[in-house]
Amino acid sequence: MLLSKEGRLDPMPEMNEKERREQAIFNLIDNRTIGTQAELVDALNESGFDVTQATVSREVRRLGLVKKPLPGGGFRYSVPVSRSRAARRFSLGSFVTGFSQVEAFCVLNTLPGRAMMVAVTIDELELDEVAGTLAGDDLVLVLIKRQKDRERVEAALSEFF
């Protein structure tokens, strides 16, 4: 970790400002209930990003965020569950930088800050052979139910990158 210009610890020093803001948005909507652009502006500003409502509006549209209803009423921002095959291909093909296998696992290396998006995309494919995914900052671990299905999973994922 390095210190940012403001003297804070910067966990993503190799990313440009836009990429860091994008990652922060994904982290915030994953970990907090944020239902309005104003709430997202406030949360980003608290996280050290100097943003306006106009910037957040563009980011929400660009990232394809959707509002999901909450059980008790109201809404929260979320990453869309269903995306077209072309959008999945873009997500995987644009961010994955490597692929390796370990017994009944596949390890995908991604661009910094893109692993969660890639993992969600793989989960959305609902491959029968995949038990689930685990994402870090730049690595996705794909858990395969049976070792014998590893090649089939690799072939299915290879369609996208």
Q: Catalogue all structural domains in the chain, each as residue range(s) with its CATH number.
A: 2-78 (1.10.10.10), 85-158 (3.30.1360.40)
* pLDDT 10s digits, 99-116: 655 668 888 998 888 888
* pLDDT 10s digits, 27-75: 898 889 999 999 999 999 999 999 999 999 988 888 878 888 888 888 8
Q: What is the overall mean pLDDT for the chain?
A: 79
Over range 136-147, report the average pLDDT.
89
Closest CA to 103 of 134, 146, 61: 146
pTM beyond 0.75: no
Q: Which 3 state secondary structure label does DSSP give 117? A: helix
Over range 88-99, report the average pLDDT.
61
Angle at 77 between CA 72 and CA 83, to 5 degrees: 115
**Percent residues over pLDDT 70 in the chain:** 76
